Amino acid sequence: MTDTVVLDPYRNVPRARRQLWAHALRAEWIKFRSVRSTTWSTIALFVLGAGLTTLVCATSAAWLASGRADESVASFLTWGMMFAQVGAIVLGTLAVTSEYGTGTIRATLAATPRRGAVLAAKAVVLAGTLFGVGTVTAVAGYLGGNAFLDAEGIGVPVTHEGVLRALVGSGLYLAGLGLLAAGVGLLVRHTAAALSIVLALVFVVGNMVMLLPGAWGEWTTKLMPGNAGSGVAQVEPFNPLLLDPWTGFAVFSAEVAAVLVAGWLAFTRRDA
């Protein structure tokens, strides 16, 4: 009598590992930190933010101590973060558009077909990095700049109202700017175009709308992304007519979310 042998067609056949969101997150982190543009943009962000805050406080300390200045001393403590915005916008843009420029977005989507997971991983890596770097930059600028103010007897302690909020708010605001740039990058898929749009929106249009007459101009100025979001990163704002810091940041967050949703819709519905 002959024994019957039943063959298992799946025996010794390797099975694909189940894809987890953690895998997408790790892949995005590796891509983000392995390109030179990330390193140089981060260095530029820190130098502009911390360096210019320290420099401005050093050169203005005697003038501020004389009492002839119209601005508050505390308003200078995160002064350089206005220019650190450029680094955040560049990082946010390149996090998306660099893959379209090189064509590696096809490999990314082949490895992780769930586009929502890819976008969520990109957003977490980008926002987390910018929040950390932005906060460290603001703290470094505060310590460097306040040392010169202390030397003139006009230093602002960290317990002063608004200082801690501005230091943490700098990280939050830069993270939001990076996500805004990433959302625009998803829509236009071109580095130069995305950079031009976001930089113009924050630095040019946000100031030009102040020229609009009446209540229309006043509220348009308040609601522009750069004007609404930057208040949370300032100990005392240069423009007291803008929204309160956390109110403005809530408006800014809603605007960033709207752009990200539009970018997500474009990302999921268009070919790579």
3-state secondary structure the chain: CCCCCCCCCCCCCCCCCCCCHHHHHHHHHHHHHHCHHHHHHHHHHHHHHHHHHHHHHHHHHHHHHCCCCCCCHHHHCCCCHHHHHHHHHHHHHHHHHHHHHHCCHHHHHHHCCCHHHHHHHHHHHHHHHHHHHHHHHHHHHHHHHHHHHHHCCCCCCCCCCCHHHHHHHHHHHHHHHHHHHHHHHHHHCCHHHHHHHHHHHHHHHHHHHHHCCHHHHHHHHHHCHHHHHHHHHCCCCCCCCCCCHHHHHHHHHHHHHHHHHHHHHHHHHCCC
- The amino acid sitting at 13 is V
Q: Is the pLDDT of residue 17 over 80?
A: no
- Tokens standing for residue 144: 């460097």
Averaged pLDDT, 146-167: 96
Distance from C-alpha of 48 to C-alpha of 42, rounded to nearest angstrom: 10
Q: Is the pLDDT of residue 223 over 80?
A: yes
Would 195 be classed as within a structural domain? yes
Q: Is the pLDDT of residue 157 over 50?
A: yes
Q: Domains in the chain: how many in total?
A: 1
- For helices 245-269 and 163-188, what crossing angle results, to 10°? 20
- For helices 115-151 and 245-269, what crossing angle results, to 10°? 150
Would 63 be classed as within a structural domain? yes
Distance from C-alpha of 13 to C-alpha of 256, rounded to nearest angstrom: 46
Distance from C-alpha of 7 to C-alpha of 178, rounded to nearest angstrom: 56
- pLDDT at position 11 is 53
Distance from C-alpha of 46 to C-alpha of 207, rounded to nearest angstrom: 24
pLDDT tier, 248 (very low <50, low <70, confident <90, very high otherwise): very high
- pLDDT at position 10 is 44
Distance from C-alpha of 160 to C-alpha of 252, rounded to nearest angstrom: 25
Distance from C-alpha of 193 to C-alpha of 22, rounded to nearest angstrom: 31
Q: Report the share of the chain in percent with pLDDT over 70.
A: 92
Would 3 be classed as within a structural domain? no
Would 168 be classed as within a structural domain? yes
Would 16 be classed as within a structural domain? no
pTM of the model: 0.90
- The amino acid sitting at 209 is V
Would 7 be classed as within a structural domain? no
Distance from C-alpha of 100 to C-alpha of 95, rounded to nearest angstrom: 10
Would 10 be classed as within a structural domain? no
Phi, psi at residue 143, to the nearest 5°? -65, -45
Domain range for 221 is: 21-269
Tens of pLDDT along 92-147? Answer: 999 999 998 888 888 888 888 889 999 999 999 999 999 999 999 999 999 999 99
Would 14 be classed as within a structural domain? no
